[in-house]
Amino acid sequence: MLKVPDSALVHGFANNPAGTHGSRTMMLAELRLLLAARPATAGMEDYRQAILDDNVLLKKTLATRRESLRRLRELYALNRRVLLFRALRDLWEGDAEAQPLLALLCACARDPILRATAEMILAVPPGEQVTPYMISRAAEGGFPGRWNAMTLAKIGRNAASSWRQSGHLAGRLTKVRFRAESRPAAAAYALFLGYLCGERGEALFDTLWARLLDAPLHLLHDQAFIASQQGWLEYRHTGMVTEISFRHLLRTEGAGEA
């Protein structure tokens, strides 16, 4: 299981396996509803009001609204002062088809339980079956002895659903490995996560975040170039040298923009 460097924790990454996947999935449908209901400049209080007061997630009770808010904050922060979320929000509306991978990348960065299952998922060839039990064993391998059998079973089911939502698995009752669809916005975010974890240049294409895109290296370079045309990053690739920077995603915002 990848433990992110301490220097990345300030940007919203997490190594503490308090994680959401013991009780919820990565909640892609809820995240889409929430971000569609508020502008990109919204702050954490705006999202709280959207969920609790406006019930944009269409939950039946106040208790479920509060729980949904808690879990979405665990997974995505919902705070523009957290760089991991601000970058997600910057890229979110650029391509709706990239949203499943954008959400998955952020959820893996913030929930070590889901991150602990990633290598197992990526190692399964397309078309082969993946069971919740396999996923729960991967989580247990990342954090031996931490959970009882009932909690591990829940983690297996919830993480399986998240990997289906992201496009890495297909099927509802019986899930099989499937190739997720990488898009330039997701590629920009994956490279950015690698950058925040200390990687530079060509090494950005060999991180867990880049491998979660489920795409060959040449396609990721093509998508990085397209992302640079969108202004999401700066990309130069000549011969054996790759240079990537993130002036837009790393920009400084005013005190009132939170």
DSSP state letters, 183-218: -HHHHHHHHHHHHHTT--GGGGGGSHHHHTT---HH
| pLDDT computed for residue 182 by the predictor | 97
The candidate with the shortest Cα–Cα distance to 157, out of 39, 255, 4, 23, is: 23
Average pLDDT over residues 210-231: 97
Q: Which is higher by pLDDT, 172 or 15?
A: 15
Is 193 in contact with 208 (CB distance < 8 Å)?
Answer: no
Instruction: Name every residue whose Cβ is closer than 8 Å to that of residue 67 and which is 6 or more positions away in sequence.
Output: none
Q: Which residues pair with 243 in a beta bridge?
A: 236
Query: Phi and psi dihedrals of 241, rounded to 5?
Result: -110, 130
Please name the helix (run of DSSP H) or strand (run of DSSP E) that holds residue 102, with its range, or none.
Answer: helix 99-110
Average pLDDT over the chain, rounded to an integer = 95
Q: Kindly report, residue by residue over 159-216, the tens digit of the pLDDT.
A: 999 999 999 999 988 999 999 999 999 999 999 999 999 999 999 999 999 999 999 9
| pLDDT computed for residue 1 by the predictor | 56
Average pLDDT over residues 151-162: 97
Average pLDDT over residues 96-104: 98
Average pLDDT over residues 41-70: 97
| pLDDT computed for residue 253 by the predictor | 77
Instruction: Sort strands 234-238 and 241-245 into parallel, antiparallel or unpaired.
Output: antiparallel
Average pLDDT over residues 65-69: 97
Is 91 in contact with 76 (CB distance < 8 Å)?
Answer: no
Task: Give 2's pLDDT tier (boundaries 50, 70, 90).
Answer: confident
Q: Kindly report, residue by residue over 105-134, the tens digit of the pLDDT.
A: 999 999 999 999 999 999 999 999 999 999
Instruction: Name every residue whose Cβ is closer than 8 Å to that of residue 54 and which is 6 or more positions away in sequence.
Output: 37
Q: Is the pLDDT of residue 255 over 50?
A: no
